[in-house]
Amino acid sequence: MLRKARIGDVKTIHRLINISSGRGEMLPRSLMDIYGSLRDFVIYQDEKKEEILGICAMSIIWENLAEIRSLYVDEEHRKEGIGRNLVDACVSEAITLELFRIFTLTYKQAFFRQLGFRDVERSTLPEKIWSDCFRCSKYPDFCDEVAMILEL
């Protein structure tokens, strides 16, 4: 079941992001950052076990730009459509907010290509660079994530 994140989910979201970060799948996020962006998150929860199997966030970056970030699906449940459902929910919310340029920085290019995203140069996303990237320890010379965009 898909639903918006709740305050009681924050520590689980933080744990899942840190698991993924430890595997080199995404960058870490602080607990404070997750509390501050909680409304950005969508959760995929197993209805029977009430276990969170996946997370994804959609952040507004600028008047014409949204970002899909912090996508994680439990390893045992990958290839079941959970990731697609999470991204689709975030894209749907972006469209509702009249944001028609949606990007991600990812290590999972094949997955996002299946959803219609295409590779772009990070330099085409200056709003992201000035809002987040310049604070990252990998910026500017060591960033190894691929910038991808979906334009609707």
Would you give per-residue pLDDT tens digits along the chain (152 residues)? 999 999 999 999 999 999 998 898 888 889 999 999 999 999 999 988 889 999 999 999 889 899 999 999 999 999 999 999 999 999 999 999 999 999 998 989 999 999 999 999 877 875 554 445 445 555 555 556 788 999 99
Cβ burial, residue 56 (10 Å; 0-12/13-18/19+): buried
Q: Strand pairing of 41-46 and 146-151?
A: unpaired
Whole-structure pTM value: 0.89
Cβ atoms of 72 and 16 closer than 8 Å: yes
Peptide bond into 140 cis (omega under 30): yes
The pLDDT of residue 51: 94
The pLDDT of residue 70: 95
The pLDDT of residue 124: 80
The pLDDT of residue 127: 54
Q: How far is CA 128 from CA 35, 65, 68, 135, in A?
A: 20, 9, 12, 11
Ordered domains of the chain (ranges, CATH): 2-151 (3.40.630.30)
The pLDDT of residue 130: 43
